[in-house]
Structure 1
């Protein structure tokens, strides 16, 4: 395979130069404040690590929609330590005679950095993304379907009650009582599923006996009350 040429990024080069200079200034200031040997080299590492950790945690909490006041505070503390060392080594202080307050600040930095790093490590993370709800299609597929007999029973339960027409009151007359015949009951409407069932039974009866289906026989097969005979006959 052909290797891709390595391209030098100007931003990375600039960051490396700035980091090296800041690292050197922190080392010189720590050495001038009485931290000799490996301790002087550990100070710039501590400051830069706290700066990077605070920046990453601040960005993570902002992306999660959380308040980032704590990480922002420690980012400013590390930035002030790095910037202060760069300014102090620019000739404003005599590194051969470092004031006592600066020695105290340099000596107390490890405790401050340890405290800040501990708080950043134990800061709450962003909220987890909730799992998507299960599809309703799966639930419908797993639900038991009612048997055909149960469907017929449900259809019979859903049938409307046959209308009842009150008998008209007879008005007596002196000559001859007038009787008004009661109107024939209106067949009740059947559900579409029950109509299909009635027609299927009628066709079965016709193919078996060779005669038209008897409404009473069809009604009995369906388990309907006698008042539904007219409704069954209307669909035969």
Structure 2
């Protein structure tokens, strides 16, 4: 059975007020230089922003974002109603009015985007309760004593075999110096009757110790 449609005074009043506000916004936009379909789009934009902000307030609770854009849309709608009541010369609107009407699309787009995509605050009832910390045991049982583990002696690494000392580099002795040393050694043995030692050979030749050792090795 079809339900009968009964007129609602509040709904009728809302339709009349919305139509008047819509017409005032259209007239103001047309006076500010927005002609054709653009003049009709302005009241739709203002009313949609107003409804979106009010819906956000009803569904997600009071928030600064929703209240801010609700007041912006309300001021735009109320300002158009007052401006078309004879307070402004719509034949020659001021520059500030033209500037506000021209900048409204960007402002309305920003407000609609923020209202649609900003996360809603979570109510206190949806928060996950944190479990309380367990109460301490009034009569704790002593823990059984455990014997300490025996200390392990550090293992000694096996000694590495000593490396053989590197042989001393061979000293090159000139052949002329070796011949001269033979003569000196022969003269010393003729005079003393004993072979010449390394220190005496070094003193007679005037050479450093390592060179004297090399010469003595060749004379032996």
The TM-score range, normalised by the shorter chain, is 0.5 to 0.7
Give structure 1 stretches of 5+ with no counterpart: 133-236
Give the alignment of 1:1-236 within 5 angstroms. 2-62=1-61, 68-127=63-122
Query: Offset of 1:55 from its aligned partner?
Result: 0.7
Contact 1:50 1:74 in 2 (8 A): yes
For 1:111 and 1:71, how far apart are their aligned partners in 2?
18
Q: Could you tell me the TM-score, scaled by structure 1's length?
A: 0.51
Contact 1:60 1:126 in 2 (8 A): no
Q: What is the root-mean-square deviation of aligned Cα atoms in Å?
A: 2.0
Q: State the TM-score, normalized to the length of structure 2.
A: 0.55
CA distance in 1, matches of 2:23, 2:7: 24
SS in 1 for 2:72: helix
Separation (CA, whole Å) in 2 of partners of 1:113 and 1:76: 12
Q: What are the Cα deviations for residues 17-63 of structure 1, in whole angstroms up to 9, with x where unaligned? A: 0000000000000000000000000000000000000011122221x
What is the alpha-carbon distance in structure 1 between the residues aligned to residue 105 and residue 54 of structure 2?
A: 19
Distance 1:86 1:131, change over 3 A: closer
Deviation beyond 6 Å, 4+ runs, structure 1:
none
SS of the residue 1:125 aligns to: coil
- Aligned-pair CA distance for 1:5: 1.3
Greater C-alpha Rg: 2
User: Which secondary structure does the structure 1 equivalent of 2:50 belong to?
Assistant: helix
Report how far residue 130 of structure 1 moved.
5.8
Q: Distance in 2 between matches of 1:124 and 1:57?
A: 11
Q: Is the alpha carbon distance of 1:94 and 1:130 closer, same or farther for their aligned partners in structure 2, counting shifts above 3 Å? A: closer
Q: Distance in 2 between matches of 1:131 and 1:69?
A: 21
Aligned residues: 128
